[in-house]
Amino acid sequence: MLDDPTWQTFADRCWYTVRHSGLPRRLRPGFWDNNGRCCGTAGVLALACDRIVEQDDRPDFARLLVADLVSRATRDSDGVRWSDLEPRTTPSILAPRTGWASGSAGIVRELLRYVRICRSTDPTYVVTWPDQPEVSSLHGQPGRQSGWR
């Protein structure tokens, strides 16, 4: 079923929509207030990196996402972390999280993968996650399962 070229056409159309939606800019309160991997900039960066590796996409959009994440980081003597915004609460800046889905762990993982891709080192993952399908290479050879070294 996934070998059907129609799927790639749909995926490309969806990706076009994401790239032209205005993100990662915060156009108004509630629009793109999340940095996390589950539903924010780091999650879009994960897909951008997948497309660089699997579709030979240019890295321009991924570079924009990385710059946005770097600009939103809080850096101090305690380290680096990210906070999301919730415009419906006061204060609107949420406490930073450390976890995978919406915290620093997931964000840092995607930033590290981007660096690996830019340095032309192994862009695949090693730690297998149940929700990620096998990655195929650019040359038609089966890739390794998703994960991270």
Residue 128 lies in a domain: no
Residue 141 lies in a domain: no
Question: Residue 30: its pLDDT value, please?
Answer: 81
Residue 130 lies in a domain: no
Residue 27 lies in a domain: yes
State which residues form the domain around 67: 5-118
Question: Residue 122: its pLDDT value, please?
Answer: 76
Question: Residue 1: its pLDDT value, please?
Answer: 63
Residue 137 lies in a domain: no
pTM of the model: 0.81
The Cα–Cα gap between 95 and 84 comes to 8
Q: How far apart are the first and last CA of the chain?
A: 30
Residue 140 lies in a domain: no
Residue 142 lies in a domain: no
Instruction: Name the domain count of the chain.
Output: 1
Residue 47 lies in a domain: yes
Q: What is the pLDDT along the chain (149 residues), one digit of tens a residue?
A: 667 889 989 999 999 999 999 999 988 888 888 999 988 999 999 999 999 988 899 999 999 999 999 999 999 999 999 999 888 888 889 999 998 888 999 999 999 999 989 998 876 665 555 566 665 554 444 444 333 33
Burial 96-111 (b: 16+ CB within 10 A, else e): bbeeeebbbebbbbbb
Whether cis (ω within 30° of 0) applies to the bond prior to 91 is yes
